[in-house]
Amino acid sequence: MKAETRDRVLRAAERLSFFPNALAKGLLAGRTGTVGLLTSDLEGRFSIPILMGAEDAFGAGKMSVFLCDARGDAIREQHHVQALLSRRVDGLIVVGSSTNPRTSLGSDLPVPVVYVYGPSEDPADLSIITDNVDAGRQAVDHLIATGRRRIAHISGDVSYSAARDRAEGVTTALTEAGLPLSGERVMFGSWSESWGRGATRLLLERAPDTDAIVAGSDQIARGVMDALHERRVDIPEDIAVIGFDNWAVLATNSRPQLTSVDLRLEELGRLAAQRLFEAMDGDVRHGVESLRSRVVTRGSTTPSH
Amino acid sequence: MKAETRDRVLRAAERLSFFPNALAKGLLAGRTGTVGLLTSDLEGRFSIPILMGAEDAFGAGKMSVFLCDARGDAIREQHHVQALLSRRVDGLIVVGSSTNPRTSLGSDLPVPVVYVYGPSEDPADLSIITDNVDAGRQAVDHLIATGRRRIAHISGDVSYSAARDRAEGVTTALTEAGLPLSGERVMFGSWSESWGRGATRLLLERAPDTDAIVAGSDQIARGVMDALHERRVDIPEDIAVIGFDNWAVLATNSRPQLTSVDLRLEELGRLAAQRLFEAMDGDVRHGVESLRSRVVTRGSTTPSH
Per-residue confidence (pLDDT) for residue A14, from 0 to 100: 47
What is the structure's pLDDT at A97?
A: 87
What digits encode the pLDDT tens for the residues B242-253? 999 999 999 999
Class of domain B132-262: alpha beta
Which of A18, A34, A194 has its CB closest to that of B83? Answer: A34
Q: Measure CB to CB from residue A69 to each of B34, B51, B69 and give the nearest one.
A: B51
Q: What is the pLDDT of residue A88?
A: 87
| pLDDT given at position A160 | 96
The pLDDT assigned to B60 comes to 73
Q: Do A34 and B87 touch (CB under 8 A)?
A: yes
Which of A32, A75, A250 is most worth mutating to test chain B (most B CB atoms within 10 A of its CB)? A75
The nearest alpha carbon in chain A to B78 belongs to A9
The per-residue pLDDT for B45 is 86
> Is residue B305 very low, low, confident or very high in pLDDT (cuts 50, 70, 90)?
very low
Give the pLDDT of residue B12: 54
> Residue A281 in 3-state DSSP?
coil
- Report the residue from B52, B61, B87 with minimal CB separation from A79: B61
Q: Fold match between B3-130+265-292 and B132-262?
A: yes
Grouping H, G, I as helix, E, B as strand and the rest as coil, residue B183 is: coil
**Measured distance CA(B28)–CA(B64) in Å, rounded:** 12
Q: How far apart are the first and last CA of chain B?
A: 49
Q: How far is B46 from chain A (nearest CA, A)?
A: 8
The reported pLDDT for the residue numbered B4 is 63
Amino acid, res. A138: Q
Q: Do B71 and A52 touch (CB under 8 A)?
A: yes
Give the pairing of strands B259-262 and A259-262.
unpaired
Which among B2, B47, B61 has the least Cβ separation from residue A108? B2
Distance CA B193, CA B183 (A): 19
Cβ neighbours of B45 in A, within 8 Å: 43-45
User: Which residues of chain A make contact with B75, given a CB cutoff of 8 A?
Assistant: 9, 12-13, 16, 18, 61
Could you read off the pLDDT of B118-157 as tens digits, one per residue?
Answer: 999 999 999 999 999 999 999 999 999 999 999 999 999 9
Instruction: Using a pLDDT cut of 70, give the percent of chain B over it.
Output: 90
pLDDT of B18: 41
Contacts by A21-25, CB closer than 8 A, 24 or more apart: A21/A58, A21/A59, A23/A58, A24/A57, A24/A58, A24/A59, A24/A62
- Are B90 and B111 contacting, i.e. CB atoms less than 8 angstroms apart? yes
Radius of gyration of chain B (CA): 22
The per-residue b/e assignment along B132-149, b for 16 or more CB within 10 angstroms, e otherwise, is bbbbbbbbbbbbbebebe
Number of residue pairs across A and B with CB atoms under 8 Å?
Answer: 134
Binary contact (A67, B67; C-beta < 8 A): yes
Quick one: closest CA in B to A61, which residue?
Answer: B76
Nearest to B61 among A76, A197, A223 (CB): A76
Chain A nearest CA to B136, separation (Å): 24
Q: State pLDDT tens for residues A164-199.
A: 999 999 999 999 999 999 999 999 999 999 999 999
pLDDT at A62: 81
| Residue A22 predicted with pLDDT over 80 | no
One-letter amino acid at B84 equals L
pLDDT of residue B14: 47
Tell me if B65 and A64 make a contact (CB, 8 A cut-off): no
Give the residue extent of every domain in chain A: 3-130+265-292, 132-262
> Could you tell me which chain A residue has the CA closest to the CA of B110?
A1
With an 8 Å Cβ cutoff, are A66 and B68 in contact?
Answer: yes
Identify the band that residue A204 occupies on the pLDDT scale cut at 50, 70 and 90: very high
Contact B66 A71 (CB under 8 A): no
CATH of domain A3-130+265-292: 3.40.50.2300
Q: Do B69 and A48 touch (CB under 8 A)?
A: yes
Residue A249, pLDDT > 50, answer yes
* Structure confidence at residue B232 (pLDDT): 95
**Yes or no, beta carbons of A83 and B67 under 8 Å apart:** no
Q: Which residues pair with B117 in a beta bridge?
A: none
Return the pLDDT at B21.
46
- Beta-sheet strand order (sheet of A126-130): A287-291, A126-130, A113-116, A91-95, A34-39, A64-69, B64-69, B34-39, B91-95, B113-116, B126-130, B287-291
Quick: pLDDT tens for A132-172: 999 999 999 999 999 999 999 999 999 999 999 999 999 99
The pLDDT score that the predictor gives to residue B32 is 74
Separation CA B45–CA B218 (nearest Å): 13
Q: What are the tens digits of pLDDT across the range B209-256?
A: 999 999 999 999 999 999 999 999 999 999 999 999 999 999 999 999
| C-alpha distance from A108 to closest chain B C-alpha (Å) | 7
**CA–CA separation, B102 and B96 (whole Å):** 7
Q: A265, exposed or middle or buried, with CB in 10 Å at 0-12, 13-18, 19+?
A: buried
Task: State which H helix or E strand residue B222 sits in.
Answer: helix B218-230
pLDDT in tens, B96-113: 989 999 999 998 999 999
Going by pLDDT thresholds of 50, 70 and 90, the confidence category of residue A4 is: low
Q: Give contacts of B16 with chain A, Cβ < 8 Å.
A: 75
Contact check, Cβ <8 Å, B64/A78: no
User: What are the pLDDT digits (tens) for A93-120?
Assistant: 999 989 999 999 998 999 999 999 999 9
Q: Name the pLDDT band for A33 (thresholds 50, 70, 90).
A: confident
| A67: nearest CB among B34, B66, B222 | B66
What pLDDT, on a 0 to 100 scale, did the predictor assign at position B22?
45
Compute the nearest-CA separation of B255 from chain A (Å): 9
